[in-house]
């Protein structure tokens, strides 16, 4: 058994969680990950071992229901940090919205209760929330900050029940779970730091490639369509703000390892406002051999990819200021992601 300090990651086989495990191992820590699907967890472990990490530094724990009382006590024991990344995202279109909210809230509650029994070595709990916890529906055309909260989605789920739909279920679940997170912080005043992150659309290469194009997440729809030679697509749902998965992972790890600075804080993670035309322009300049559609060059975005006035946006300056590190340039994100996505053209 490794003598390294252990970091717990819930939902290890998730898109962000698997990349976070990679980053935690690179930092010299041991990873313990919870999964509902043992086979998926073992696949992550096998991939990490193939990347050169020691198998003794990767532990997978099968927990069918993270929200079950007491189910996480063994998982959190001895950990220095708990990174709560598990989320019922895959079920938002199949389960009733109220059930999605219940799972998210009870899972977060279970994690926090377990954290109180993890031991005195526990220094931080980091929860990956969402920009959905910041904006109302319908969305207001303004620049959102960490002071904002979604005040409408939970009510819509309560009022409409099964008619609320997957989108409202997702927004309500993230908002309700983060409220529980901060209520615990305010009432229990734990000895460990607590931090919540609100990423916008997350883009970038996963640890384990998706098997087919249809599995590529909606957040990368514009990239895939432009790469395939289609016309410049219409704006994405709600907003165009994105964040490189590598930056989300960096913020998760930084928050966990700097509880004195990150404790008690919310951080918006949103690096750039690009969109279809911006992606096309970058590819015409940096990867002209692709022969992608030109569209209306330079239209619909700012040259520095900052949020525009009068539309939905997110102020990401707090994270940059407190970490002292800027986000990955949007040009880099676009080129790196397109190179990865090319495998899905055949």
pLDDT in tens, 329-340: 999 999 999 999
Pair of tokens at residue 314: 């997110």
Q: Is the pLDDT of residue 81 over 80?
A: yes
- Residue 237 CB contacts under 8 Å (≥ 6 apart), including other chains: 218
Q: Is the pTM of this model over 0.85?
A: yes
What residues contact 1, with CB distance under 8 A and at least 6 apart?
Answer: 56
Contact 150, 175 (CB under 8 A): yes
Helix runs in 116-164, H state only: 153-160
Q: Cα separation of 278 and 299, whole Å?
A: 8
Q: Which two tokens stand for residue 222?
A: 């514009």
pLDDT at 295 (0 to 100): 95
**Domains of the chain, earliest start first:** 6-203+243-271+313-323 (3.40.50.720), 204-242+272-312+324-346 (no CATH)
Report CA-CA distances (Å) from 198 to 135, 144, 202, 248, 252: 11, 11, 11, 9, 11
Tally of CB atoms within 10 A around 285: 11
In this predicted structure, the answer to whether residue 227 has a pLDDT above a threshold of 80 is: yes
Range 252-260 average pLDDT? 98
Which pLDDT band holds residue 2 (cuts at 50, 70, 90)?
Answer: low
Q: How confident is the model at residue 161 (pLDDT cuts 50, 70, 90)?
A: confident
Contact present, 308 and 301 (Cβ < 8 Å): yes
User: In angstroms, what is the C-alpha Rg of the chain?
Assistant: 20
Integer Cα distance of 242 and 301 in angstroms: 13
SS3 (DSSP) at 61: strand
Residues forming a β-bridge with 124: 81, 193
Please tell me the distance from the alpha carbon of residue 236 to that of residue 246, in angstroms, as a whole number: 21
Of 326, 321, 344, which Cα lies nearest the Cα of 244?
326
CB atoms near residue 172 (< 10 Å): 28
17-31, 53-67, 89-103: segment of lowest average pLDDT: 89-103
Position 71 pLDDT exceeds 90: no
Torsion of CA 146, 301, 19, 101, to 10 degrees: 50
**Cα 273 to Cα 270: distance, rounded to the nearest angstrom:** 8
pLDDT for 90-106, tens place per residue? Answer: 777 788 999 999 999 99
């Amino acid at each position: 058994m490794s003598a390294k300090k252990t970091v717990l990651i819930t939902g290890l086989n998730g898109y962000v969680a698997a990349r976070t495990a990679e980053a935690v191992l690179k930092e010299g820590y041991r990873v313990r990950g919870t999964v509902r699907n043992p086979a998926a967890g073992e696949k992550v472990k096998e991939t990490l071992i193939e990347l050169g990490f020691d198998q003794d530094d990767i532990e997978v724990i099968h927990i069918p229901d993270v929200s079950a009382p007491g189910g996480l006590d063994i998982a959190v024991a001895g950990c220095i940090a708990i990174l709560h990344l598990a989320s019922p995202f895959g079920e938002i279109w199949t389960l009733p919205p109220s059930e999605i909210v219940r799972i998210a809230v009870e899972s977060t509650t279970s994690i926090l209760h377990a954290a109180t029994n993890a031991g005195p070595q526990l220094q931080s709990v980091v929860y990956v929330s969402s920009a959905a916890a910041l904006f109302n529906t319908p969305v207001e055309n303004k620049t959102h900050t960490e002071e904002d909260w979604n005040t409408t989605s939970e009510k819509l789920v309560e009022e409409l029940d099964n008619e609320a739909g997957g989108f409202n279920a997702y927004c309500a679940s993230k908002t309700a779970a983060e409220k529980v997170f901060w209520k615990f912080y305010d009432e229990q005043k734990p000895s460990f730091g607590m931090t919540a992150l609100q990423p916008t659309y997350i883009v970038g290469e996963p640890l384990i490639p998706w098997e087919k194009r249809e599995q590529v997440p909606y957040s990368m729809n514009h990239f895939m369509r432009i790469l395939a030679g289609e016309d410049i697509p219409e704006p994405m749902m709600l907003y165009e703000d994105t964040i490189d998965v590598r930056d989300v992972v960096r913020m998760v790890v930084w928050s966990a390892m700097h509880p004195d600075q990150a404790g008690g804080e919310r951080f918006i993670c949103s690096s750039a406002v690009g969109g279809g035309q911006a992606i096309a322009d970058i590819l015409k300049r940096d990867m002209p051999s692709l022969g992608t559609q030109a569209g209306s060059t330079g239209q619909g975005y700012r040259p520095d990819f900052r949020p525009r006035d009068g539309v939905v946006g997110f102020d990401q300056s707090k994270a940059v200021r407190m970490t002292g590190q800027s986000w990955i340039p949007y040009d880099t994100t676009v080129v790196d992601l397109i190179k990865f996505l090319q495998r899905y053209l055949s």
